Amino acid sequence: MKSTRLRAVLTVIAAAAAAVTLFPITWMLLISLRTQRDALAMPPRLLAWPVLDAYRGIWDMTGFATGLVNSLVISFATLAVCLVLALLAAYAIARFTFRGSRAVLFAMLLSRLFPPVALVTPFFLGAQWAGLQETRAILVLAYVALNLPLAVWMLKGYVDAVPEELEQCAMIDGASRFQAAWRVTLPLMAPGLAATGVLVFIGAWNEFLFALTLTSRAARPLPTVIAEFVGDTGIAWPQVMAASTVALAPVLIATFALQRHIASGMTAGAVKG
């Protein structure tokens, strides 16, 4: 039995670790609620009255509004395409025995371990050749490719978790294989599908390198737009932090909602279950 004092000490240490973990996010919020002068004051003005100037100001900054729209469009499109492709593949791998199914899974795992930066040059030249530079479509293609292996591995696990007998029962009752999968398996794996979808969405939402190389104007998503706010001189830090807060908000909500699924999802393929 642990003594209550030890329990208190351990709780305090864990709380301190949580405070350190949350500090940079808190700092971002605090700076985003300041005027430029207060934000850069030394010593820092911790108790400055919060103002929303920066949140109003970002809409006037070049590309912010279009960047936000682009990010939403690109991320939702990636989510839709990626889930459809991954669901088809995952269902086949989980439910059918066929030559090459293991090879497909291993190829998926391997392609996830390859660094995207080593693929970006040919991808850029291919996009140029196909006339797809500066389009949202090419980023959707890139992000589908980057997230597909993760999605297939995660979804395969969730299909496996639904007993095949349930589908067979439905088929005995006259349903086709497709109907059985659609009406029986899919609803049962809905939470897993949602978790996968959120991770894919965030993967697209967060991506920077392909956005940096493939777009520079109209099709730029939020991260590369915000990166441009940080020039060499006269950085408007409250606006930069306000824009960062907007970019980070959906990610934080998803992280808190999904924490159980994240680790198992991200390591899918390396651990069982």
Partner 1 sequence: MTAAWRRRHGRRLAPYLLVAPAVLVLAATVLGPILFNLYASLHRWNLIDSDLPQAFVGLAGYGEAIVEGGFLHALGVTMIFTLGAVAAEFVLGLALALLVNEDIAARRLLRTLLVAPMLATPLVVALVFRLMWHGEFGIFNYLLSLAGFAPVPWLAQPATALFAVLVTEVWHNTAFVFLVLLGGLQVLPREPFEAAMVEGASWLQRLRFVALPLLRPAILVALLFRVVFAIRLFDEIWVMTRGGPGRATETISLLIYKAAFESFDVARAGVLSVLLLLIAAALAAVLIRTLYRPEVP
User: What distance in Å separates the CA atoms of residue 25 and residue 33, rounded to the nearest whole number?
Assistant: 13
Contact 250, 203 (CB under 8 A): no
Is the Cβ of residue 24 or residue 174 nearer to partner 1 in the bound state? 24
Taking alpha carbons only, the member of 265, 264, 242 closest to residue 54 is 242
Is the Cβ of residue 11 or residue 62 nearer to partner 1 in the bound state? 11
**In DSSP terms, which residues pair with 271 in a beta bridge?**
268
Is the Cβ of residue 188 or residue 212 nearer to partner 1 in the bound state? 212
Taking alpha carbons only, the member of 67, 70, 29 closest to residue 46 is 29
Q: How far is the CB of 173 from partner 1 (least distance, A)?
A: 19
Q: What number of other Cβ atoms are within 10 A of residue 70's Cβ?
A: 22
User: What distance in Å separates the CA atoms of residue 171 and residue 165, rounded to the nearest whole number?
Assistant: 10
Q: How far is the CB of 59 from partner 1 (least distance, A)?
A: 18
Question: Reduced to 3 states, what is the DSSP secondary structure of residue 271?
Answer: strand
Q: How far is the CB of 252 from partner 1 (least distance, A)?
A: 6
Q: How far is the CB of 210 from partner 1 (least distance, A)?
A: 10
Taking alpha carbons only, the member of 67, 13, 109 closest to residue 212 is 67
Is the Cβ of residue 9 or residue 69 nearer to partner 1 in the bound state? 9
Q: How far is the CB of 54 from partner 1 (least distance, A)?
A: 13
Mention every residue, 6+ apart, whose C-beta is less than 8 A from residue 205: 71, 75, 221, 222, 247, 250, 251
Is the Cβ of residue 41 or residue 218 nearer to partner 1 in the bound state? 41
| The pair of three-digit structure tokens given for residue 171, joined into one six-digit string | 């088929």
Helix ranges, the chain (H): 4-32, 36-39, 53-57, 64-95, 101-113, 120-129, 136-160, 164-172, 177-180, 186-188, 190-206, 209-214, 222-229, 237-266
Q: How far is the CB of 43 from partner 1 (least distance, A)?
A: 6
Is the Cβ of residue 177 or residue 183 nearer to partner 1 in the bound state? 177
Q: How far is the CB of 137 from partner 1 (least distance, A)?
A: 13
